[in-house]
Amino acid sequence: MNTTIKLNDLLKIDSKELTKYKLHLAAYNGTEQPLDVFSRDFNQWIEWNRWRGGKNDFSREYILSLIPDYHKSDKYIFGGVFQITKRHEDWGDTEIGYDLIVVEEFSPLIGRLVVEFHRYSGMRGRAFYLESFIDDMVVTQILEKPYSGIDFPGYDNVLINFSALEHIVQRQKQDWKVALENMKGIYVIVDRSNGKKYVGSAYGEGGIWARWSTYVYSDGHGYNDELVDVISANGVQYARDNFQLALLETLSMKSDQDTVIHRESFWKEVLFSRSRFGYNKN
């Protein structure tokens, strides 16, 4: 018995109607992953679909959007169906080329359908005729709730960009919160634009979760002097585009402050983060 569920088994778009759709396979834009944008703010995700670029990619009435799960091969999250209500032919310097509305018929499935689809190497660009590929899209999972960010990977495997951390903290994602608020530790923030590192520690109540939450609610700088200067000059988007966080060492909540600070100093020496290669002042 064939139990495969294809995407259109659920969407039920008529074969004649398919020719009114363009498929949008969102892709990393050099600074942000579309899945992080979707997770952080649905309105910002809509803006990704409104962007036109140098040509009229979305030349049909509807856009069906899929968001790549960059943690897993060939997996996409259903990002919705949008109807184009206006195309801006003379749009000058603006990056907004389309006015859109969300097609409500499909909105209950946004962020919940996990689709398997192999994008072969010859599929360049972001926009394709939907009828050419929809039969190759298989539903592998229907989430109980819309996608809410990556699951906690274990202390030894924490490596996360600031954009994803924003979503995790703002949504109070429980697997991350429970794990991190019960550990003190040492962490590193790497600026991917220049390789500079900031080594920090979490030794107070609420552990690593409380310390990392401070970065989110301070727009990325966590009140560290050097990072304050960077964010003041460039804004929170700089942190979203460039900051990557990792755990270097975890310590019991019973560890005293002096022990944690001693280990922090050790990692600063290891990573040379007090020099011109880092953001630590002391």
Task: Walk along the chain (282 residues) in steps of 10 and give the mean pLDDT of each run.
Answer: 86 95 92 87 92 86 96 94 89 71 96 95 90 96 88 94 90 94 98 96 97 97 96 95 96 97 97 94 90
Q: If you ran DSSP here, which 8-state letter would residue 68 be given? A: E
Q: Looking at residue 71, what is its pLDDT?
A: 82
Other beta carbons less than 10 A from residue 166's beta carbon: 23
Neighbours of 206 (CB within 10 A): 17
Helices and strands in the chain, H and E counts: 9, 12
Q: The domain 155-271: what is its CATH number?
A: 3.40.1440.10
**What pLDDT score does 29 carry?**
85
* Angstrom distances, CA of residue 25 to CA of 67, 112, 150: 6, 17, 20
Burial class (CB in 10 A: 0-12, 13-18, 19+), 138: middle
Closest CA to 183 of 161, 165, 168, 202: 202
Domain ranges across the chain: 5-142, 155-271
56: part of which helix (H) or strand (E)? none
The answer to whether 104 touches 82, Cβ cutoff 8 Å, is no
**Rounded to whole angstroms, how far apart are CA atoms 263 and 232?**
29
The confidence score (pLDDT) of residue 91 equals: 55
